[in-house]
Structure 1
């Protein structure tokens, strides 16, 4: 399953949807702050039940309808900053001006054309992630393009929308969400289906990510950017893969999805050759009374039932791998889990898990299959079973039967969820146009792209740092792509050596973090004051790591106070010489024996004696001079 494919021959077509949170002061439709909170800061909760509604054309969205079949309670954590808009007890306010300006800036970087008038739409969402039961979204620009090494990729549209509430945990009755994230401005960038290889998909995502970060106005960190990937092959179907957290996973996910669709097509062909069918689900509880299977016995003890579906012609195929560590049976199980079941058993993997061969034979007879065709070494038929509460078991086995029916047709169109292993699992049907309708509470916006300045690209900034400040390529890229490039530029302008400034905001911070310093406490003011001490020769460069670590541990201290506390003031020439002479006299016999050969070891001792208060070059010159006097 790790093989590469002839993607051109398979007819691979892929597109991306990039979702990026914007770093604005206020939310998209209210003035509430965009600061994320801890769940234990919650002041109260709101409980809702959500149900699908018909569109203006009287249609029900298939994805919303399936979601509604599982009755769930949604609980929302609120905070002292939560407003009536977030609670859906007040109409939304006008679109945030800052968010619109950032969206237009991104549109320019993607070479897109802004629309004449922006209209807000409602997108039906009843998974609980929005208190209103829909997400507000608006098209800002269209018809862009980015370049990749395998050719251009069109950018179809740029949407500005509100972020969903953050899922906190599953509860016995439903799902608990936090309202701190709900309403944070979010851009969604959708490409045309121009991508023809997994590598190009990843390159396109990286290019878009670089352009987004070039604005300096997007949020950073886990969960602030998400990638969805649409993938199909010639004989397959369009599959939307949601929630790819890491850019590095995109290539593997596209490759694995191509493999999954190719395997499903092979399975469909084999099922056709076998004249496979799917039976009607039926209860088979009596077969497993007294079973040694802990899972089944546990369900029966709780008053549950066992339901089964006959799968003539499916023998050996239910257990066939279609993605790394995922099989056709795993697909069936994903659908069963959507209805509350813990999973399924199927006869390609039985007898096992406490289910005996006799029970398998009885199961085959109960669903009108020949036991030899189910239990033989080359079984032709299969049976799938679900053991759970009566209603859950029945609904789940019906879902398995429906998925088995689609297996005979090939690849179903659906939305899938990305896993940490770069595979995917079934999430829900593909949404349709029936879930979109106009938002009547927010007036249209007429954007003015001419008011927006195009920012310097991060790639251009990297080149400038190399040329203007003589930074090596790696360090220049670190600073340009990092969060503190403005601090770096201010430091250089104040007279701090460019390489020292770059190392301070990047590698030095990384080093002290690895040593356990809480670097998240460091503010821009801390760095600016440290650079001020360097510029005024009141701090040696060797003292920077210790000073930053001290400030991280004691963020209320000023740089001057922390330097004094740590004894990190810049040593004068007399103090340096005194320290060096002390070290030299302490090691007189070694110098007498080795001469300048003792320099390297004594240099470290001198720097330790001065505890970072002196520049290494100054100490080196004085030490050489003192050794030469005695050699």
Structure 2
């Protein structure tokens, strides 16, 4: 899709960044924040969720649409799952560690903390929370970050509980895991100050850097999510949920601008054609004896075929509005919400086993002419009717232009329909949690990652590249802690950023290594119980059998430090074995023999000591 003139189109965009905090316990209970494997679940239970009315007696449109799809929600519970997570006990008070971290983040964006933080309930009936709502509290407002295209305002910062982790679809609904439910996260919302895809990416990267500067946020896939709000002047505000990768944000904005521009163009053309949407009809008789596998499968199961004529839509339903997505795809997304596999439409037929004769008969059945299109759904009777009505409703909004809605991000940078935009009717006070009065005066302002890079170079004499790797890496908090405890900064940095990477490339399961493993290995190296050269071998041993302590693994692998005499004996043995080479080459034999000596010691001797003794032995014989 070609690049657009974003100023001319009136692009307005904003971000919502959701970042999990690395706290010891969850936001409203004392359960740990560690993720579990589904196989570790000790029991399950089920829930059916329904929307509730707000204090004003209103029901949120997004919640109402979710509730129209009858689903059973199954939850995997663990030995750490508590009654709060099951919604069988009121939530506890707001976690103090999470609140302090949120205030640190607010400082970094020059935000103003609220005088009193009140917890609210946000209605969510998609099963991602056992209670049917998510708890959220406003912590700070009115901040700002800088980008190369100007300042971007920060509207608000909220402290929220993370949703349950979706495991899989089931025959009756959805299965969720409760290990993630309740992990504290901050939601940071920018003002609609972003005017280009590039600025959206830069703003997200800046916020990400500020979050990581605290050293108190979780790292890894799924721990940070970006939502993007996009609109153009003739379009509408669209909220795009669940952008997993920062690198996708500019493509998401670019493709959404293109989608809205194309929908505006479609609206104008439909208006010229005086287009309209007809009545939903049953056209099962048209496809009796059809060779289409999809349609025949539905009919053989007692299903039906429903259709809606789209007058004046010929050639438009199949028009591309985003890469590999068409207006027909939008109609199909709405139909799928009601259990259908999708739709067929005449812009793509005959195909899929549907013959030209059947297309002609279909057009005749619904009164569609050559300028018109027809969309059909083949499924169980109830599903087919609900799905084609949803598709017809979406076709009707095409006459108006761009609908306000919530969309989901796809891996290819495009989006899909999820639900209508939520409104204020889904928020109401949480009466089980007392309000708190944030006190930012005792919260230290974190050092920025950019400042850390400079300090690591100046204070620890790390190279620029290694300093940046450590500062921006997930092990930065551990690096700072072990260096403060007296561990050599170069050893710590190279181990965390180079050695672990090399071991991972060699298929060593470094994900099994815990913080305690790494701390113990560093301590052994610092006290001389383990030569620096033995660190990779010991980490490998621990990764392979993580239940052992560092001392046990070192002893089992014979990785303890050797005394000077033992090292000299090994060096002498290597030199004598290569006596002819030494006599012929003298000190030039050093390089080759050094590797052989280190191999003989198997990580039990420091390289400097081996080097010194090898030089001495060569000089004796030269």
Distance 1:250 1:100, change over 3 A: same
User: Pairwise mapping of residues 441-590 of structure 1 onto structure 2 (< 5 A)?
Assistant: 441-492=432-483, 496-590=487-581
Structure 1: runs of 5 or more not aligned = 374-379
Deviation at 1:558, TM superposition (A): 3.6
CA distance in 1: counterparts of 2:449 and 2:474, whole angstroms: 12
CA distance in 2: counterparts of 1:336 and 1:132, whole angstroms: 28
Q: Structure 1 length normalisation: TM-score?
A: 0.93
CA distance in 2: counterparts of 1:525 and 1:41, whole angstroms: 23
CA contact (8 A) 2:283 2:305 kept: yes
Partner of 1:4: 3
Deviation at 1:347, TM superposition (A): 1.3
Partner of 1:225: 224
Partner of 2:144: 145
Taking only aligned residues, the RMSD between alpha carbons, in angstroms, comes to 2.2
Partner of 1:610: 601
Partner of 2:328: 329
Partner of 1:22: 21
CA distance in 2: counterparts of 1:561 and 1:446, whole angstroms: 49
Distance 1:570 1:157, change over 3 A: same
1:75-116 superposed Cα distances (whole Å, 9 cap, x missing partner): 223333333332223332322222222222221122111111
Which one of the candidate residues 350, 360, 384 is aligned to 1:393?
384
CA contact (8 A) 1:494 1:535 kept: no
Partner of 1:377: none
- Match of 1:147, SS state, is strand
1:139-171 superposed Cα distances (whole Å, 9 cap, x missing partner): 111101111121111110111122222222211
- Match of 1:152, SS state, is strand
Q: Structure 2 length normalisation: TM-score?
A: 0.95
Point out the more displaced range, 247-256 or 163-172: 163-172
Point out the more displaced range, 325-334 or 164-173: 164-173
CA distance in 1: counterparts of 2:542 and 2:15, whole angstroms: 42
CA distance in 2: counterparts of 1:27 and 1:529, whole angstroms: 28
Deviation at 1:303, TM superposition (A): 0.6
Distance 1:539 1:51, change over 3 A: closer
Partner of 1:302: 301
Partner of 1:411: 402
Partner of 2:312: 313
Deviation at 1:509, TM superposition (A): 1.4
1:43-65 superposed Cα distances (whole Å, 9 cap, x missing partner): 33332222222222222211112
1:435 is the counterpart of 2:434: no
Partner of 2:250: 251
1:218-255 superposed Cα distances (whole Å, 9 cap, x missing partner): 22222221110001111111100001111111111111
CA distance in 2: counterparts of 1:600 and 1:353, whole angstroms: 70
Structure 2: runs of 5 or more not aligned = none
CA contact (8 A) 2:241 2:408 kept: yes
CA distance in 2: counterparts of 1:237 and 1:285, whole angstroms: 37
CA distance in 2: counterparts of 1:506 and 1:60, whole angstroms: 51
Point out the more displaced range, 139-148 or 535-544: 535-544
Deviation at 1:410, TM superposition (A): 1.6
Deviation at 1:366, TM superposition (A): 1.1
CA distance in 2: counterparts of 1:410 and 1:92, whole angstroms: 44
1:284-340 superposed Cα distances (whole Å, 9 cap, x missing partner): 101111111110000001111101111222222212221111111111100000111
- Match of 1:290, SS state, is coil
CA contact (8 A) 2:28 2:92 kept: yes
Distance 1:492 1:123, change over 3 A: closer
CA contact (8 A) 2:119 2:135 kept: yes
CA distance in 2: counterparts of 1:496 and 1:249, whole angstroms: 39
CA contact (8 A) 2:215 2:477 kept: no
Distance 1:287 1:603, change over 3 A: same
CA distance in 1: counterparts of 2:547 and 2:55, whole angstroms: 57
Deviation at 1:468, TM superposition (A): 0.8
Partner of 2:240: 241
Partner of 1:376: none
- Match of 1:75, SS state, is strand
CA distance in 2: counterparts of 1:561 and 1:128, whole angstroms: 46
Partner of 2:274: 275
CA distance in 2: counterparts of 1:171 and 1:381, whole angstroms: 39
Distance 1:79 1:318, change over 3 A: same
Point out the more displaced range, 488-497 or 136-145: 488-497
Distance 1:290 1:441, change over 3 A: same
- Match of 1:111, SS state, is coil
Point out the more displaced range, 575-584 or 348-357: 575-584
Point out the more displaced range, 244-253 or 483-492: 483-492
- Match of 2:604, SS state, is coil
Partner of 2:115: 116
